[in-house]
Structure formats: structure tokens, C-alpha cells
Amino acid sequence: MRPHIILRYIGLVLLFNAIFLFVSSLISALNSDSSLFPLLYSAVISALFGTFPLIFVPPTKTISNKEGFIIVLSSWLLSCLVGCIPYILWGGEFSFTNAWFESVSGFTTTGSTILTDIEALPKGLLFWRSSTHWIGGIGIIIFVLSVLPSIGSARMTLYRSEMSSLAMNNFHYRTHKTIQILAIIYVGLTFLETLSLLLCGMNLFDAITHSFATIATGGFSPKNLSIAFYKNLSAEIVIMIFMILSGIHFGLLFVTISGNFNDIRKSSIVMYYLLALLIGTALTAVSLHGNQFESWTDSLRYSAFQIISVGTSTGFATADSSVWPMFAKVLMIFFTLQCACAGSTSGGIKVDRIVIFWKSVKRKLIRLQYPNAVVPVKVDKAAVSDETVEMCLVYIIMYLAVTAVSTLVLTALGTDGLTAFSGTAATLGNVGPGFGAVGSISNYSSIPEFGKWIFTANMLLGRLEIFVLIMFFMPRSWR
């Protein structure tokens, strides 16, 4: 392993962060707010650290798998660290723990916050907060590689570690093109949503920050009441559409945009994803009608937004779901665990694994009846290897085990059961809001300090699909 090569690539990621920090400081300067110096100083530090390895380390075209793996992990962790510098320097509600929490929540596109008054933050800092979502959404590494002069194998190696293994299986494009596709779709969707929100009457700053958070399936809003602040149905519809789109495999989106509608129509994963959201919305609306809302229109409006928001791991809110009936809460917890499709920016177990899980259950039932039958697990008429099926099941078990352990530790710290469990599910799934003290309209400020560190660990575990982060702390696996 070559530490200097790793430092060069991490440097590029830091340079990418520095660009957004500079833009944020520009916004701060235009608004003459108090975050100018914290942002500018962080940008300078980040740019200097990013530039230095480029001076010493010559470019390379070959990166080993292990190096790629370390680059991805270190980039995530260092981005989170650099990301919290402006918060620490600005002060206010940001202690080191709080700043780290907010930064990790941003880069992992979780969207949980410790801020009790988001609107008290200066605009420059609010923009940086949303930018962390946008950077984290596409995966810092992919972004940086798309602007790098390095070609071929270097890109491929990093890409593998960044994306979910499931997404890799059904991503049919050649790698150098994949990066371009992801970038085009990501930027395109962000631009389209910003434009749509502007047409809905949102101001430019709010439209951009909300687009950043939606496309990254993050959930940071510059308003304390999140989307509920606007009381704007058309804006809610636009955000719902883009949340759903951001939860679909980006490769499939590209094929569909290119004019081939067959792939998305025939994709059982996407169909399951959409159907689940539809059924979830309908059931929640039924439970809310006459209980929280008098009219069917309101019940549908609020249930659709909340279900899509958690079902895509975004975490925006138009209503305080912590006061909803238990049935609606349980449904939302299910979606918090499941989330959206692999190959998107969402977190959670992912629909793909859930589909494979149900298909393997079906296979087991058939084998109980016909012990000698050869029954492959098929997704879209293609057989899924036994190794993939096994990995899916192990992942689901690991996911639930992490949820259980984290909940247990949080309750030991004095957090109530609902807050501990829903908070764990929401942070591990990179969703954001849970229930109880960490509901959709509240925040994580009341969680004990150590609890906040557990939640940030959950966010990183969820974003890096558990095994990758575990391997990072096992140096033997680096060799």
C-alpha cells in the first residue's frame, strides 16, 4: 500500500470540498453574515491540505483495490472532519460533538440535526450545510474522479468501494461512462428541481438548498419547520416527485431519460419500490383520516409526503408525525428500515435486498415441498447467485443486529425506548427524523453526548454499508 498515493486522492477530495466552502463563503459575503471568516478559513485550510500532495505526488494510473478502499473510507471520514470546522469556528450551538454530528449527518445524507433554531444560522453556513448533502450524495470520490486527469483502472477501483455491491451487479455500463452518467443525472435533477421550486414560488436560496437535500436524499432544510414552513402544495408535489426519482437506480433513470422506458417498467425492484410507497401512503392515510385530519385530501397529502420522505431516506417533513397513531408510526419505521433502491443516494437496507429476501423465503418454502428441486432466486428473469443471496441475508441480519445493539446502548444512557429505536433506525438508514424526542419537527439536541457519537457511528455504518466500515478498522484486510 502506498500512503502517498492515498494522500494525493484524499487531497483531491478535500479540494472538491474547498470549492463548496469558497462558494459558501461567497454567499456569506454577499449577505454580510457572521459565517464569512469561519467558512473562508475552512476553505483555505481544506484547499492547502488538498493542494500539497498534488505538488509532491506524481499522478498514477493504477490503484490497488486496498488503496481504493482506504481512499474512499478516509475521504468520507476526512470530509466529515473538514466539514465540521466551519461549524466549530462559528460557535453558537456547535460544540465539537454537535459540529461532528451535523457534518456526518450532512455527508452521509442523513439529515438529522442537533440545531434547535436552524433559522438562527447565517446563510453562508446554511448553504454549506446543504452542500455537504450534495457532495455526500453522489459520493465524493466519484465526483472527484470525474474531474481527474487519471483514467481507466484508477476510476474503476474506487468506484467499487463507493457503490453498493448490489448496484454494481445490475449496473450495465462501462465504468468511465458510469461516472459521467451519474454526474449528468445528479446535476440535471438538481437543476430541474431548483427550477421547479422557483416556479412554485420558493426563493432562489431555499430552492437550491432544498434541491441539494432532495437529490441527495438528505433532508436538511434551512427552515425550523422543514417543508411545513411553506404551506405550499405545489412545492410539496415537486419535492415528492424528486424524492421518488432520487430513490431509483441512477442507471435506470439514465436509460429512461434516454428514451427506453422498458427497463424501468420491467424492473421488479422499481415496481416493488413504487408499489410499497403507494400501499404505505394509502394505509397511513386511512389511519390518519378522522384522527389527525378531517378530510381525505389532507390525510392523503400529509401521509404521501411523510411516507415518501422516509421511504426514500430523505427526511423532510410537512407534519409532526410523532403525534400520529401507532399504526402510522410502525409503517413509517418499516420504510425507515427498508428505504429505496440500490444505485441511488438513499440508505437503509434497500429495496433490492428486501426483494431478494422475500424471493429466497419463497425458494425455501418450495424446497420444503420439493427437497430435490433446483429453484434459483431470480430478479427480472436473471438468476441471482447464491453468494449474493447469502450476502443479502447476512447484511439484513447485521443491519438488525446493529440496530438492536445501538438501541440497547442508547436506552442504557437514559434515552426512552421509542427515541432510541427510531433514532437508531433513522440514523442507520440515513433517513434523519425518528419518533419521540427525535421526531420530524424536533431534533437530536436532547440526546446525551455519547448517544450523539453512537448516532454518528450509525450514520457512517449505514452509508458505508456496514461491512466496509468494519473492514476499515481491521488492518489485516488492507493487505
Partner 1 sequence: MRLRTKILSGFLILILMLFAAGSWSIYEMTQMGSSVQRLLDENYKSINAARMMMEAIERQDSAVLLIISGNDKQGKPILASGDELFLKGLDTAKTNITLDGEQACVETIEESYGSFKNFWTEFIINANNNKDLKWYYQTLHQAFLDTKLSVNKLMTLNDQAMYRTASKLQKRSYRVIMPGIVAIVSSVIFTLIFSYFINYYMVAPIIKITNGVKDFITTRNYMDISVETNDELSHLASAVKELCAISGAVQKT
| Residue 290 one-letter amino acid | G
Please give the Cα distance from 23 to 125 (Å, whole number).
11
Taking the least distance from each CB to partner 1, the nearer of 86 and 315 is 86
Please identify, using beta-carbon distances, which residue of 117 and 416 lies nearer to partner 1: 117
By C-beta, is 53 or 315 nearer to partner 1?
53
Q: Is 91 in the site for partner 1 (CB under 8 A)?
A: yes
51 binds partner 1 (CB under 8 A): yes
7 binds partner 1 (CB under 8 A): yes
Residue (37 or 358) nearer to partner 1, CB? 37
3 belongs to the binding site for partner 1 (CB under 8 A): yes
**Residue 202 in contact with residue 189, Cβ under 8 Å?**
no
Nearer to partner 1 by Cβ, of 89 and 356: the residue is 89
Q: Which residues pair with 383 in a beta bridge?
A: 378
Among 80, 85, 144, 255, binds partner 1 (CB under 8 A): 85
Nearest distance from residue 44's CB to partner 1, in Å?
A: 5
Q: Burial code of 75-84, b = ≥16 C-beta within 10 A, e = fewer? A: bbbbbbebbb
Q: Which is nearer to partner 1, 85 or 307 (CB)?
A: 85
Among 30, 56, 290, 408, binds partner 1 (CB under 8 A): 56
Say if CB 25 and CB 36 are below 8 A apart. Answer: yes
Distance CA 87, CA 358 (A): 44
The nearer residue to partner 1, 28 or 424, going by C-beta atoms, is 28
Least distance (Å) from partner 1 to the CB of residue 25? 12
**Per CB under 8 A, which of residues 144..173 are in contact with partner 1?**
none
Assess 59 for contact with partner 1 (CB under 8 A): no
Task: Please list every residue from 9 through 48 that binds partner 1, using CB under 8 A.
Answer: 37-38, 41, 44-45, 48
CB atoms within 10 A of CB 449: 12
**Binding residues with partner 1: total (CB under 8 A):** 23
Pick from 9, 53, 190, 348 the residue near partner 1 by CB under 8 A: 53
Closer CB to partner 1, residue 4 or residue 367?
A: 4
89 binds partner 1 (CB under 8 A): yes
Report which of 197, 297, 208 is spatially closest to residue 238, judged by C-alpha positions: 197
Cα–Cα nearest to 141, from 3, 9, 45: 9
Closest to partner 1 by CB, 55 or 374: 55
120 binds partner 1 (CB under 8 A): no
Judged by CB under 8 A, which stretch of 87-95, 149-157, 279-287, 467-475 contacts partner 1?
87-95
Q: Does 64 bind partner 1 (CB under 8 A)?
A: no
* Residue 122 found at the interface with partner 1 (CB under 8 A): no
Please check whether residue 21 is in contact with residue 110, taking contact to mean a CB–CB distance below 8 angstroms: no
Cell numbers of 27, please? Answer: 454567499
- Of 4, 362, 364, 367, the one binding partner 1 (CB under 8 A) is 4
Query: Is residue 127 a contact partner of residue 205, using CB atoms and an 8 Å limit?
Result: yes
Burial of 88 by CB count in 10 Å (0-12 exposed, 13-18 middle, 19+ buried)?
middle
Which residue is associated with the grid cell 437496507?
Answer: 349
For the record, the C-alpha cell of 344 comes out as 441511488
CB 218 within 8 A of CB 136: yes
- When asked if residue 58 is in the footprint of partner 1 (CB under 8 A), the reply is yes
CB contact at 8 A, 285 and 309: no
Sign of CA dihedral 57, 59, 61, 63: positive
Residue with smaller CB distance to partner 1, 33 or 320: 33
Q: Which residues contact 313 (CB under 8 A, 6 or more apart)?
A: 109, 217, 247, 336, 339, 340, 346, 347, 348, 429, 430, 431, 432
Give 10 or 356: the residue with its C-beta nearer to partner 1: 10
Binding region for partner 1 (CB under 8 A) out of 83-91, 125-133, 243-251, 428-436:
83-91
Under the binding rule (CB under 8 A), the answer on residue 88 touching partner 1 is yes
Nearest to 340 by CA among 167, 162, 132: 167
Give me the residue label for grid cell 484547499: 47
Give φ, ψ of 382 to 5 degrees: -105, 130
Per CB under 8 A, the list member of 12, 27, 49, 407 interacting with partner 1 is 49
Query: Does 413 help bind partner 1 (rule: CB under 8 A)?
Result: no
Q: Is 457 in the site for partner 1 (CB under 8 A)?
A: no
- Nearest approach, Cβ of 57 to partner 1 (angstroms)? 8
Task: Pick between residue 40 and residue 181 the one whose CB is nearest to partner 1.
Answer: 40
CB of 65 to partner 1, least distance (A): 21
Residue 139 in 3-state DSSP? coil
String of DSSP letters for 248-261: S-HHHHHHHHTT--
Q: How far is the CB of 49 from partner 1 (least distance, A)?
A: 7
Contact between 198 and partner 1 (CB under 8 A)?
A: no
Which positions lie near partner 1, rule CB under 8 A? Answer: 3-4, 7, 37-38, 41, 44-45, 48-49, 51-53, 55-58, 85, 88-92
